[in-house]
Structure 1
Amino acid sequence: MRKKVVIAVAGSLFLLGASKSEDVKLLEEAKRYFQPLPKVADSKENPITPEKVRLGKMLYYDPRLSKSGLISCNTCHNLATYGVDNLPTSVGHRWQIGPRNAPTTLNAALHIAQFWDGRAKDVEEQAKGPILNPIEMAMDSPQEVIQRLSTIPEYVELFKKAFPNDKNALSYDNVAKAIGAFERTLITPSRFDKFLQGDVNALTKKEKEGLKTFIEVGCAGCHNGPALGGNMFMKFGVVEAYWEATRDFVTLDKPTVPVDVGRFAVTHKQEDLYVFKVPSLRNVSRTYPYFHDGSVWSLEDAVQVMAKVQLGKELNKDQVEKIVAFLKTLDGEIPKDALEVPILPASTSKTPKPVR
């Protein structure tokens, strides 16, 4: 009897050892494609300081950076909903509808460029765009932004503290640098980072199978690096036209979605036709609807579409379920400080009234 027990125990130890070996192999394979998130996405051109981050957070939440006094960065990139507004495309000044889905600001500073078409080199340059865009925040000029902020004494002082070496601390460039510094702190580590750091028990069996499937199917060819995306541009529709694959998912109140030429509109190069920045998959289960046009609401459907149009593969239900299980391990923790809505400086009698 004792011998049988020993054999049984030895057998289960052997099985455990085999399972551990498989986990280690998967971890080693995963490290070929992915890296853990850094604590912050620092920048030599815009070093992070507590003063910049505090100011940038206020500006991120302040609707007075819009002509109407209604729209802030947080309107379309709501940190409480993982840096997005969960709309196909966002609502801007005087209820105008934007042409593309608002990407999340979480972990965005890790990307090689900003916007779907990569027209901004970093989060600082990106921050300048929506404030002046006539269908977003609709301010007429950088001078109008600075004029408004200069009528608020607390902001004047905060800019001086955040940019002590600048003779002209309150500038449009520094508005963007402050917002950018804040966004560089919006890093959301998850259980997957613990796995990459060596904790093979951080993921469940099904989640590990999903990771393995994700790699084997070919998804990691584009969705790699710390953010699982954001580090390259790729044609959307390598195998077949993306709008054919997403057509069945378009909602009835928006029966047709215009075909977007992507990066071609910026570079005017034929090779950039239908090319977009590969989106990050961090927090992807929370940042629906999907793709640049917000045409697909279900993560399962989005996985099927991507496999079809990018890889030419039809995934079975089991493969999709496992991949989605893995993708949900990328749901991270939003920095608590970022979610605490700041008390904004008060306007004065000199502050221009909103235009609606």
Structure 2
Amino acid sequence: MKKRFVFGLLGMTALAGVVFAVEGQWQALPEKAPEPADNPTTEAKVALGKMLYFDTRFSSTGTVSCFSCHNVMEGGDDHRPTSIGVHGQVGGRNAPTVWNSAFLSAQFWDGRAPSLEEQAKGPPTNPIEMGMANLDATIARIQAIPGYKPYFTAAFGQGDTVTMDNAAKAIAAYERTLITPDSAYDRYVKGDKKAMTEQQVRGMDTFAKTGCTACHSGPTFNGSANLPMGQGFFMKFPIFPGSVYETQYKLTEDLGRHTVTQQDADKHLWRVPTLRNLTYTAPYFHNGAVQSLDEAIRVMAKTQLNKELTKNEVQDIVAFLGALDGPFPQQTMPRLPPTPGDLLTAN
């Protein structure tokens, strides 16, 4: 009930076209991602999690890994409208970027996972994505690879530590290193007024005056940074139905959070996505239907704020969003333990 009230309040603010005062409206991204008390980040966990993230043996066919849909050599997604899983099956939603996902208070477009640890357990048993029968079958694959045992021991200690919970904790620990602070915008709000170009500063002002901050606020531009873990920031999309974009881009075919809760009030509610590194993550929206960033801005202005922006306003906002691109931490491919000859079945 509380989440729906938040949505209603913000929705009314957006409808009124008012730039409301969010706490510390312009916030830099922290230099370190938050971590839960029961899963502190360690070097050994990160090393193991990185291996598991790249390991295709987490899938039934031995062909799909986390990396397959979330490419950390570039934008943290796969640039397809919707992702391809085992046996060439095509999913129903666009792969969100993994970059800065550590700062989100809920995971997946519909917010069904409250943490990175829980999110990591989702794709392996999804019949389209990785296609494993269940989580027991998933971790059994890893248990059958002797070379993984020393890495689990290093990360979690002696004993029966090769478990799915620990695998998920390790993947989450690695993902918490995938953050991109120190963008031009971050440097600007910290006091370096030469970090952003004149057009980017103008776009920042246009972004706020248009009303975009009604949803896209906080250091990751996806809502308040102070929400409790698991309580995602959701918004109805579209707020203003009936525009040409709704039909053109099939914006309402997917019911969003309703698919999780089965509550009518949650139809077409979506977790507000981050705006960081947008120039790396086309195509856009939950169905990947919009190919360019300038078109995505026009769609959002019309469907969420009932506004039509000028060409110059769109170009200025595009420039500002480019200032949110941060430097990516260097990624190297991990060396994985060898595969026993009888590991993979003819799935």
Interval containing the TM-score (normalised by the shorter chain): 0.7 to 0.9
Q: 1:40 aligned to 2:41?
A: no
More helix by share: 1
Secondary structure at the aligned position of 1:80 is classed as: coil
Tell whether 2:49 aligns with 1:56: yes
Deviation at 1:40, TM superposition (A): 2.6
Q: Deviations over 1:103-145 (max 9, x none)?
A: 0000011111001100000111001000110100011122222
Distance 1:48 1:83 in 2: 20
Matched, 1:107 2:80: no
Name the aligned partner's letter for residue 353 of structure 1: L
Q: Which residue number corresponds to residue 25 of structure 1?
A: none
RMSD in angstroms over aligned alpha carbons? 1.8
Q: 2:175 aligns with which of 174, 183, 186?
A: 183
The answer as to 2:251 corresponding to 1:245 is no
Aligned to 2:271: 277
1:219/1:277 CA distance change after superposition, 3 Å: same
* SS of residue in 2 equivalent to 1:306: helix
Once residues 310 and 170 of structure 2 are traced to their aligned partners in structure 1, the CA distance between those partners, rounded to angstroms, is 46
In structure 2, C-alpha distance between the alignment counterparts of 1:81 and 1:93, rounded to whole Å: 22
Alignment of 1:309-328 (within 5 A): 309-328=303-322
- Mapped partners of 1:91, 1:230: distance in 2: 29
Identical positions, percent: 46
Aligned to 1:5: none
Residue 147 in structure 1 maps to residue 147 in structure 2: no
Alignment of 1:253-264 (within 5 A): 259-264=253-258
2: CA distance between counterparts of 1:186 and 1:306?
27
For normalisation by structure 2, the TM-score amounts to 0.87
Q: Is the 8 A contact 1:76 1:85 kept in 2?
A: yes
Distance 2:118 2:291 in 1: 30
Look up the match of 1:227. Answer: 220
State the shift of 1:32 in Å. Answer: 2.7
- The unaligned stretches of length 5 or more in structure 1 are 1-28, 251-255
**Are 1:84 and 2:77 an aligned pair?**
yes
For 1:245, give the aligned amino acid.
Answer: Y
Q: Which of 283, 289, 297 lines up with 1:295 in the alignment?
A: 289
Displacement of 1:264 in angstroms is 1.2
3-state SS in 1 of match to 2:73: helix
Following superposition, the deviation at residue 257 of structure 1 comes to 7.4
Q: Which amino acid is 2:86 matched to?
A: H
Q: Secondary structure at the match of 1:174?
A: helix
Cα 1:239–1:144 change in 2 (3 A) is same
For structure 2, the 5+ residue unaligned runs are: 1-20, 225-232
SS at match of 1:276: strand
Number of the residue aligned with 1:16: none
2:196 pairs with 1:203: yes
1:280 alignment partner, SS class: coil
Q: Which deviates more, 140-149 or 294-303? A: 140-149
Q: Which amino acid aligns with 1:224?
A: S
Change (3 A) 1:157 1:177: same
2:302 aligned residue? 308
Letter of the 2:287 counterpart: D
Task: Verify the 8 A CA contact 1:111 1:230 in the aligned structure 2.
Answer: no
CA gap of 1:52–1:118, structure 2 versus 1, over 3 A, is same
1:97 matched to 2:104 = no
Number of aligned residue pairs: 317
Pick closer, same or farther for the CA change 1:88–1:212 going to 2, 3 Å.
same
CA deviation after TM superposition for structure 1 residue 31, in Å: 7.8
Name segments (4+ residues, structure 1) moved above 6 Å. none
Alpha carbons of 1:146 and 1:289: their partners in 2 closer, same or farther (altered >3 Å)? same
Give the counterpart of 2:115 among 101, 116, 122.
122
Q: Is the 8 A contact 1:42 1:48 kept in 2?
A: no
**Secondary structure in 1 aligned to 2:111?**
coil
> How big is the shift at 1:151?
2.2
Q: Residue type matched to 2:81 in 1? A: P
CA contact (8 A) 1:210 1:323 kept: yes
Distance apart, 1:34 and its partner CA: 3.0
> Is the 1:57–1:342 Cα contact (8 Å) retained in structure 2?
yes
Provide the secondary structure at the position in 1 that maps to 2:235.
strand
**Cα distance in 2 for residues equivalent to 1:110 and 1:355:** 39
Q: CA deviation at 1:39?
A: 2.2
User: Which residue in 2 is equivalent to 1:18?
Assistant: none
Amino acid at match of 1:269: Q
Contact 2:99 / 2:179 at 8 angstroms: preserved in 1?
A: yes
The Cα offsets for residues 39-78 of structure 1, whole Å up to 9 and x where unpaired, read as 2323223110000000000100110101111100000001
Greater mean alpha carbon deviation, residues 29-38 or residues 176-185: 29-38
Structure whose alpha-carbon radius of gyration is higher? 1
Shift in alpha-carbon separation, 1:206–1:329, aligned structure 2, 3 A: same
Q: Give the SS at the match of 1:234.
A: strand
Asked if 1 retains the 8 angstrom alpha-carbon contact of 2:116 and 2:172, the reply is: yes
Moved more, 269-278 or 112-121: 269-278
Separation in structure 2 between the aligned mates of residue 317 and residue 30 of structure 1, nearest angstrom: 27
